[in-house]
Amino acid sequence: MKWKSNRTSKNVDDRRGMSSGGSSGGGLNPMLISLLLKLVTSKKGLMIIAIVFGVMYFTGTNPLQFLTGSSGNQIQNTNYKGSAKENELAAFSNRVLTSTEDIWNQILPNYKEPTLVLFTNSVSSACGSASSATGPFYCPGDQKLYIDLSFFEEMATKLNAPGDFAQAYVIAHEVGHHIQNLMGTTDKMQQLRGKVSQKEYNQFSVKLELQADFLAGVWAYHAKKKDLILEEGDLEEALKAAFEIGDDRLQKKSSGSVVPDSFTHGTSAQRMRWFKKGFDTGDMNQGDTFNTNSL
């Protein structure tokens, strides 16, 4: 994959070497609770509470942080220095994000670019705290993609999915979730929680993930034409990654059995098919995984 000549993105938040601070204290602040109890006994006190929490609401401050004294901020480890390999992966991820920005700004009017957060071990997001074990994820609450670069090494050594374009596919898939968020698809999914059975919700989750795979394929189609970044063998790397992270493949490797009702991302065949469909057509209109009889 030819990526080093691409411009760099301004939408990368490099938090490597930081640790999540303030989120583990957890207990209620007794002094603040005592003060609140005194305030609620008077009308003037209730008015003060309403004003304070109103300001916190409109500024996006979490009231629980006010009550617990927890900031959820990231604490910088000033001694952290990434290895040469990790730093190259950081530069690579930046350039891939750049390519997605260029492509989706071309396809979608008024496209709002997401931020890519690089972290080490654990991270705080609008969706809560997460560890590296979570894997790459997109948080619709802050419209950011989160990746611990060690996942790329895990792809190569544990998932048997090596290659730079396999890594690019992962980033493009998370950007696909961002596009779903911008289009309102994510909100529709959230509204289903509690209204359908877990089995049905899993089926909708599979459709959501397969559409993100399709959108990653659409990016790859246009990147091949516009950026000329794809090289021979790149498509095969992405398809192999899609195969290796299929639900059936992962379940078979981990437990020796497959439980289709528990699938949340799709089978290997489905993930390969939808990425390839996006790559072959480059047409967003071909990716309605929610209204098809054949996934």
Distance between CA 60 and CA 244 in Å, rounded? 39
pLDDT in tens, 143-169: 999 999 999 999 999 999 999 999 999
| CB neighbour list of residue 271: distance below 8 Å, 6 or more residues apart | 209, 210, 213, 242, 243, 245, 246, 265
Whether the predicted pLDDT of 214 surpasses 90? yes
Mean pLDDT, range 226-246, rounded to an integer: 92
Least confident of 49-53, 123-127, 194-198, 278-282: 49-53
Instruction: Check whether 118 has a pLDDT greater than 60.
Output: yes
**pLDDT value, residue 293:** 87
Q: Is the pLDDT of residue 33 over 60?
A: no
Distance between start and end Cα atoms, the chain: 29
Instruction: Give the pLDDT confidence of 62-114 residue by residue, as tens digits.
Output: 454 444 344 445 555 556 788 999 999 999 999 999 999 999 999 999 999 99
280's tokens: 């072959």
- Token pair 């999914």: residue: 189
Tokens of 257: 């059995």
Closest CA to 177 of 229, 244, 127: 127
More confident call, 83 vs 27: 83
CA distance 109 to 95: 22
Give the pLDDT band of residue 61 (cuts 50, 70, 90). very low
User: Residue 81's pLDDT is what?
Assistant: 85
- Of the chain, the percentage scoring pLDDT greater than 90 comes to 72
Distance of CA 288 to the CA centre of its chain: 20
Concatenate the DSSP letters of all residues of 190-239 into one string.
HHHTTTS-HHHHHHHHHHHHHHHHHHHHHHHHHHHHHT----TTHHHHHH
Residue type, 267: T
Q: 3-state class of 138 per DSSP? A: strand
